[in-house]
Structure 1
């Protein structure tokens, strides 16, 4: 697949309500984006350590390290972005403190700084991601894409939009300039915020609310990902058909058995039809909906590649609306 076949966004932010599988979706997306000759960074924040177990790898640290091969022979790297380490990078970049920055960390100055300015921590985290998405090495981009396993939907807008507020507060100087440059990227077509949900009432409602908040904050929404969808289709079956089917395989069902099976089928059908209703509700938001199957055995490394194969044509081959 050629580079031109990939989407414009360089920074893919994956969010969702807890329990929807956003970490698995972020990992699968990184594998899908890592086509031939491409390098993708898969990052997490706030010490979550949810990525490494999926890849059967040791816990991630601040140093970027190789995690896995992509679907077409590219490379996926992993990183756990730490605000303290990011601040040391920032001080080195703008103030050339070098080893003096380590001394500040030793004496607790970094914790003090992020405590008196709570938004600074999020600025440092998003700033590090922006740096990774923009970095060049040997005349080419260090990473063709960066995928973030982001905070959940309840706090993702605040996490991404804090740079705007800090940019307003710090009108001049390196902090203000840095904040505004991060904000420009997060609010541009170089970024896509993908929202993950499952076919259930509360996650879908939270996805709808998150979509509205992202749009109100002028943050670019990418795909809505409907995850853990069972593959069954709703069909019409009545008691007579169930009894006839059981008799065809040599069983002699009584009314109680057939009645119980009808009851189970009715409940299953209602669940299948509810998935259709949730899908319709998401589609009415006007964004592409990528649908991922339920993996009954859970998501392991093999499952990640399975999800990546489903995601690739949906997200990489698709276009974002608006």
Structure 2
């Protein structure tokens, strides 16, 4: 991949980090948000890399493409000539690459794989899998050609909030346990990158009690571990309700009559019950907004997409996340 002339990086913009880690409780749409962020950051002729590490092939499904290999593949064009590449990091392939890079065991490493040793190592060694995955992230984020970064930004569709602290902190633990050698050096380098201003962890949530509580817990954990929290992104949000009161059944009846609509008791009671449920729901959402605002982390909302997430919807989310320069 050659080094082409591209706009200056986004330092000093609303998204100044270079590595964007996107986490959230399962079901909050973190993969869609990560993909939209990669598209938004690529706009205007930039190049981004969208990475997944959980083996779900969620990115391929989202873009309706073939399963991603352990290789950086062109995924999509962004407005203004930008490009999004994608990579599904595989722990076994990452270990082979690591053995070749640091121990020059290319052919020997492949032989170990045939014997099952690579799968054995990545399965039983505590934390080794996450060390390899985060190591690949560091390599992609810091890679240069002709003294220019290959990618203007790297976006990670990360493990969910319940595992994100352990996932990001494993290299620091490895560096602490390892005494000398490439493993210690590599782990220290990854740990330093993840805690530097180059990295921001964004948490995706819904305006529901469990996702919001997991968001609060995750931010507490990330902060205590020394990771920089970027934004809380509320996905599928509806605008707050305007100030007002609950309509009565009598008012509903008069309104239906004035419109020439049926005013049977069952219809009026059903409409009143739905209005009451919606009001309770929206009041809860407004309360949860308040809880998130108290975190002191930049908060942004993405609109509810009734039609689901297709490429047009991803582009709309990308524009909402990263407005034009």
The structural deviation recorded for 1:269 is: 1.0
> Partners of 2:60 and 2:212 in 1: how far apart?
27
- The reply on whether 1:264 has 2:274 as its aligned counterpart is yes
Q: Choose from 187, 198, 202 the match for 2:210.
A: 202
The structural deviation recorded for 1:255 is: 4.2
The structural deviation recorded for 1:96 is: 2.0
**1:164·1:179 contact (CA, 8 Å) conserved in 2?**
yes
Deviations 1:205-252 (A, max 9, x none): 111111111111111111111111134635435234433432333224
The structural deviation recorded for 1:138 is: 3.3
- The reply on whether 1:297 has 2:307 as its aligned counterpart is yes
Counterpart in the other structure of 2:186 = 178
Q: Choose from 77, 91, 94 the match for 2:102.
A: 94
Alpha-carbon spacing, 1:232–1:297, altered in 2? closer, same or farther (3 Å): farther
Unaligned segments of structure 1, at least 5 residues:
318-322
SS of the residue aligned with 2:154? strand
Counterpart in the other structure of 1:249 = 259
TM-score (norm 2): 0.91
**1:71·1:309 contact (CA, 8 Å) conserved in 2?**
no
- Pairwise CA RMSD: 1.9
**1:31·1:70 contact (CA, 8 Å) conserved in 2?**
yes
Counterpart in the other structure of 1:140 = 148
> Partners of 1:106 and 1:137 in 2: how far apart?
34
The structural deviation recorded for 1:5 is: 5.1
**2:74·2:83 contact (CA, 8 Å) conserved in 1?**
yes
Q: Choose from 159, 166, 169 the match for 1:161.
A: 169
Deviations 1:66-121 (A, max 9, x none): 11112433111111001111111111211222322222222222223334522111
Counterpart in the other structure of 2:159 = 151
Alpha-carbon spacing, 1:250–1:92, altered in 2? closer, same or farther (3 Å): same
